[in-house]
Amino acid sequence: MNEKDLKFTATHEWAANNGDTETIGISDHAQKELGDIVFIELPEVGKIVKKTESFGTIESTKAASQIYAPLSGKVIEVNTALTAQPELVNKEPYGKGWLIKIKVSAKDEIAPLLDFTQYSQSLH
């Protein structure tokens, strides 16, 4: 995925729209800050996540960090490849390192998210 097509949160998550579903991950900046990621705790399929609420934990050599949902919805898919290869989030934060896919319940939550330029500026 091209980072320019993604929407971001100030807490460093991203969301990629595809019809009714959104793919969610963490930003390249976030993975660099975290360092080597060694374990990721994600919700089960069917779980309801709420915008700005924690839906999982990323454990890196440096810290245990909460991941906050950029949007509300129901989890329809979880990236199971991360169980064996959590480092995919380091290597491809916008690709194979995605975390979950959700079916969005409130589409009006999408517009207020940051675009790539706004997000990049927020890092300075």
Partner 1 sequence: METQISNSSYIKKTALYDFHIARNAKMVEFAGWEMPVQYSSILEEAKHVRNGTGIFDISHMGEIFVSGRDRVAFLEYLTTNSIEKTAEGQMQYTLCCNSDGGILDDIMIYNLGSTIMCITNASNTHTIFMHFLTHSKNFNVTIEDKSREMSLVALQGIDAETMLEKIFERDFSHLFYMNLERFKFNNNEVICSRSGYTGEDGFEIYMDNMAARMFWNAAITDEEIKIVPCGLGSRDILRLEMGYSLYGVDIDTTTNPVAAGLTWAVKDTRKDFIGKEQISAAMRNGVPCKKIGFVMQEKSFPRHGYSVFSEAGKEIGTVRSGLYSPNLDKFIGTAYIQHDLAKIGTMIRIAIRDKKYSARVEKFPLIKPKVKRKELR
Long-range (24+ apart) CB contacts under 8 A made by 52-58 are 52/11, 55/100, 56/99, 56/100, 58/26, 58/34, 58/89
Calpha distance 88→82 (Å, rounded): 7
Measured from the CB atom, the residue of 63 and 107 that comes closer to partner 1 is 63
- Shortest CB 56 distance to partner 1, Å: 11
Residues in contact with partner 1 by CB under 8 A are 11-13, 26-27, 30, 33-36, 38-39, 41, 57-59, 61-68, 83, 90
Measured from the CB atom, the residue of 38 and 106 that comes closer to partner 1 is 38
Give the position of tokens 């675009």.
Answer: 115
Measured from the CB atom, the residue of 20 and 81 that comes closer to partner 1 is 81
